[in-house]
Amino acid sequence: MSKRITTLTFDLWNTLYSDTGVASGLVKPRRLALLAELLESRGVHPSEDELLTAYRAGFDQYMEAWTSGRHFGAREDLAFVLDCFHARDARTEAEREEFERIVTAMEDALYLAPPTLLPGAQETVPALAVAGYRLGIISDTSLTPGRVLRDFLKKDGLLDCFTTLTFSDETGFPKPDPRMFEVTLAGLGARPREAAHIGDTPRTDIAGAQALGMTTIRCAGTADHPEPPEADFVIRDHRELPAILEQFAG
């Protein structure tokens, strides 16, 4: 290989952590209850079916925003649901405080069911850091923001392995926006040609990294998305990474 990889950036969902079951179990009922609580505080009392329909419509709005390059988080989701029911705007300071409290509670709901690491991530990420690779995270977020995701990384002993963490709720724009990659590489002090990005989604992870000239590695450990653009490498277990990186050594 003519170039040497010194820097690795990782997507988070379906790359480091699996999102299987995130929307079910304890998390979804908690978020539905919070939506109902907010609506009732504005004098709206939806049926279970009406509430579920609005909840699903909120997800559709998130997907539309994500694919068009806009951030859509808990605050935007709550505002959308209020609009669905033509609920009145916050008129008092107490109503504004209630809205912010429920935003935070929606974001915190994932603490009820922490996500699980993908195969090989627990041992491979620290080993790469010890080996001297500069590591970063470039992650799109939805209802769960970067502040909560940092807690999961810390709980699993991985937070300190990463020098720079870039989350779309903090930047205001998702991948494949080049700024997501540029700000991360700048924080890591790396040029694109000496960096590789590992992620699961071709449209955002692979296309975004390739546009800057980074090496790309598609993670198919949980979600296998073989559509174009094609990555330089494909892994299903993070323990496959060292062998790939050896090809760029020297």
149-161 confidence digits (pLDDT tens) = 999 999 999 999 9
pTM for the model: 0.94
Mean pLDDT of 98-126: 96
Which residues neighbour 93 within 8 Å (Cβ) at sequence distance 6 or greater?
A: none
202 and 178 belong to one structural domain:
yes
Q: How far apart (Å, rounded) are the C-alpha atoms in residues 46 and 40?
A: 8
Cβ atoms of residues 169 and 71 within 8 Å:
yes
The number of domains in the chain is 2
Q: What is the pLDDT of residues 20-30, one digit of tens each?
A: 665 568 899 99
Question: Under the phi-then-psi rule, with left for phi > 0, alpha for psi from -120 to 50, and beta for the rest, what region is 58?
Answer: alpha
Residue 98, amino acid: E
- What is the extent of the structural domain holding 216? 7-20+115-246
Indicate which CATH number applies to the domain containing 242.
3.40.50.1000
- 2 inside domain: no
Which residues neighbour 136 within 8 Å (Cβ) at sequence distance 6 or greater?
A: 7, 8, 9, 10, 162, 163, 164, 165, 166, 184, 185, 187, 188
16 and 40 belong to one structural domain:
no
Q: How far apart (Å, rounded) are the C-alpha atoms in residues 30 and 44?
A: 18
- 1 inside domain: no
